[in-house]
Chain A
């Protein structure tokens, strides 16, 4: 039905001519003429200059109009003052902690449970202070944190490689994608007995459990991040010539970063959890003593203040790293992309 149009030239307007080099010269010279016209010797954009409308100077008028449009369209965003941030961000959690402590003290004062089962906040504080005076507590915390950090670092590398493979190579995704998500829901404590049989009571056992806990989270985070990349950004990268490794480095990874960071956060939480489980179960003199072993010591001496103190320390380290390392990175990434609501 559209066949009449298919032959090029049958429906072409009468004034259309075939393109020849001469034709092209004609347009080129016409353009030079236009470029040399007084209007195109452009003055600087001057948004403060008012009376431009009446001037025949089209280019200058355009610059002024454009500057005005830009000014009107650009929003202003100022950061709220420090006091405001303190009031909104610091006061609520501090209030919540104080309330929990008060409730705890109240339950203790009412003798709901005997003191050896439910010590007061001050008794827990005393137990921690005692460990501090023994001079061992920093070493214990460091032992666990350094193990956690090293395990996390290795998990980061492995998880990233796995994640990229699963995200980008279809057969790999079909083969191990479901297993990787499934592993995420398997509590890594379940690996402890197996790891002990394989590696004995060594550091290898602890790291194996940490890696099995953290690698799937990091890989899945990266896969989710890659899946959420706008196809338009990938096309734009291709147009710019960012293909292959350049494409991964300059487009794929940065575009997937928000999902990737969410995966890293979860990966850290999983490493820390797995580490505590491994330390709690795999105790031996050669393994040194971390927070998990401290917990175990408290249990064997029926020392409830020490047990609660160890739990508090584990919580503190986990939350501290999340707040000091991951939260600022995530906020920065999201704010740079305009994905965070107005600050505050």
Chain B
């Protein structure tokens, strides 16, 4: 597919040469009396990279709502712009057009690599997030201990990052993300680099923590079974450019396991769709 020029998505906005024409709202958690009925609203968002004349459209007309407390997985092959989309929602980058509204304040983001700061202990990593959120010094320590307990790492406060296993690092990273006390947790293939047993355990932990905290989760993965295992709703993202494709509600009751027959059955169906989508790129 040849590089496509971005076309203005909204009539009132000229996106001609400006790559940052999209708007975003990150209202504070306590702003406004009436809470909107979503944890994130992505409306007609497009993103393209490159210089004018050689633009590469990465995301095209993305419309997606995440309901408060909802667990959504965003599924797609590589190159579909999943990570780009999360970066846009997390305000690490600006959309070329369209709007992103996150009413619960700055969303938390967990990366594939733990992204913990190696110059701090596990506890201090979490405390930094609390400090940036404005939690007073006196409360930080107890709050950190509570979060460590939540991810079952009681006693890891003084541990250095390099002293922890891959699974433990991701749990500290999860605790640090939760320390931001955001209503929306974005996860960018956070378990992709872990071994199967550890990943399995972390799936259970994440499901438990999601149900205990009521946080909304937007979880990006290329692993179909993982998507089905975790989500209430699986959204397929097509590749080049990334567009919202089919989506599935997952009504399999919890507790689920990745090897459950129901999970496998739906995974087969979704995989078929994903393969068909990938195959399309081979035909010209």
Contacts and interface: CB of A to CB of B under 8 A. Distances in A.
Contact of B38 (A2, A19, A30): A19
Given A6-B60, A240-B129, A255-B119, A19 B211 contact: no
- With most chain B CB atoms within 10 A of its CB, the pick from A27, A233, A239 is A239
Contacts of B120: 254
B157 interface: no
Nearest to B109: A239
Interface in B253-270: 253-255
Name the prevailing secondary structure of the A interface residues: helix
A251 interface: yes
Interface stretch (B16-24, B96-104, B136-144, B239-247): B239-247
Nearest to B113: A232
A23 interface: yes
Interface in A200-246: 232-233, 235-236, 238-242, 246
B102 to A, nearest CB: 13
A343 to B, nearest CB: 13
Contacts, number: 155
A251 B117 contact: yes
A239 B92 contact: yes
B92 A235 contact: yes
Contacts of A311: none
A79 B111 CA distance: 33
Interface residues of B, number: 68
B201 A69 contact: yes
A16 B232 CA distance: 11
A257 interface: yes
Contacts of A257: 119
A338 B118 contact: yes
B174 to A, nearest CB: 13
A67 B129 CA distance: 26
Contacts of B117: 233, 236, 251, 254-255
Contact of B132 (A12, A27, A39, A241): A241
Given A34-B254, A66-B201, A242-B128, A336 B160 contact: yes
Given A75-B163, A240-B128, 10 more contacts: A8-B244, A15-B251, A27-B70, A34-B254, A233-B117, A235-B111, A246-B132, A251-B117, A336-B118, A337-B162
Listed from nearest, the 9 A-B pairs whose CB atoms lie closest are: A338-B162, A73-B165, A236-B115, A241-B132, A337-B118, A254-B119, A239-B109, A11-B246, A19-B67
27 contacts: A1-B1, A1-B280, A5-B245, A6-B60, A8-B63, A11-B245, A16-B233, A19-B65, A19-B67, A19-B70, A27-B69, A34-B211, A35-B212, A40-B208, A66-B152, A73-B165, A73-B198, A232-B115, A239-B90, A239-B109, A240-B129, A241-B132, A241-B133, A241-B180, A242-B128, A246-B132, A338-B162
Interface of A: 1-2, 5-6, 8, 11-13, 15-17, 19-21, 23-24, 27-28, 30-31, 34-35, 39-40, 45, 58-59, 62-63, 65-67, 69-70, 73-75, 232-233, 235-236, 238-242, 246, 250-251, 254-255, 257, 333, 336-339
